[in-house]
Every structure is written in C-alpha cells, then in structure tokens.
Amino acid sequence: MMTPEEVKIVQMVYTRFLEAEGKGWTSLDDALEVMEWLSDKDIITESDIKCETHSMGSVRCKNEHAASKTCFAPFILEAVISILELHDETKELHAKNRYILAHYLAMSELGLIYSES
C-alpha cells in the first residue's frame, strides 16, 4: 500500500494532468492515443524501463524555470515509482494510475521530461 505522502503526490499529479486536458489537441494527445493500444502489462513494463533510466540522473522537464519555480517532473517520477511499487504488491492497475503512467510514457517519448546526468 502507498503511504499518505505517496497518495498525496499521486493525486496531485493526476489532478495536474486532468487540469491540462481540454486546451486543444497537441502532440501529447497524439502520443496518448497510441498509449491506449498498450495492455496494462505493456504500460507497466515500459514505465518500469523508463523509470529506471530517469532514476539514473536528475529528471526534469524541457521548460526553463525561474529559480523560484519548482519543476513538476520529479513529482511525476515519484508518482510513477509509487504506482509501480503498488502494482508489484497488488498486481492491479487502477484506471487513474494507468492514466498517469500513460502520460509519463507519452511525455518521455516526446522529450517533455528527461533525465539529466
């Protein structure tokens, strides 16, 4: 099971992704459409591989933030790690967690988030 802190981070990431929807069709939407074809097992496997890669460095987004702004990409990675750990324990993938993993993979494929050495 997730800790209360992990639940908070996963909910925050989910909410942020939901808030970004409906602002016009983007390349992210195209990439997410492809993710719909993947099975739960494929989503988990691909996320696990990508997560290992991102964990080797400092994950960040392609935006240049002001020093006072916090990059959201590390929160996405934390949520993904929590979801993958939960899946390892339960062998279940909730639809909301799949939604987060699909976004994570799509954003990674588009270079919107990446790992910096």
Confidence grade of residue 49 (pLDDT, cut at 50, 70, 90): very high
81 assigned to some structural domain: yes
Domain assignment present for residue 1? The answer is no
H or E, element range at 60: strand 58-61
% of residues, the chain, pLDDT over 70: 97
The beta-strand segments (E) located in the chain are 58-61, 113-116
Instruction: Calculate the CA dihedral of residues 68, 2, 77, 11 and round it to 10 degrees.
Output: -60
pLDDT mean across residues, the chain: 92
Tens of pLDDT, residues 53-76: 999 988 888 888 765 678 899 999
Residue 18's contacts (CB-CB under 8 Å, 6 or more residues apart) are none
Residue 67: per-residue pLDDT: 59
For residue 101, the tally of other CB atoms under 10 A from its CB is: 26
pTM of the predicted structure, to 2 decimals: 0.93
- The answer to whether position 93 is within a domain reads yes
- Does 3 fall in a domain? no
Report the pLDDT value the prediction gives residue 79, as an integer from 0 to 100. Answer: 98
- The answer on pLDDT for 2 being more than 80 is yes
Residue 65: predicted pLDDT: 74
Name which of 50, 57, 52 is nearest 100 in CA terms: 50
Query: Does residue 2 belong to any structural domain of this protein?
Result: no
Q: Judge whether 49 lies within some domain.
A: yes
Length of the chain: 117
Query: Is residue 90 one of the residues assigned to a domain?
Result: yes
**pLDDT tens-digit series, residues 87-113:** 999 999 999 999 999 999 999 999 999
> Number of folded domains in the chain?
1
Identify the domain containing residue 34 by its residue range: 9-16+25-116
Residue 81 confidence (pLDDT): 97
Question: Is residue 85 situated within a structural domain?
Answer: yes
The predicted pLDDT at position 66 comes to 67
Cα separation of 51 and 32, whole Å? 18
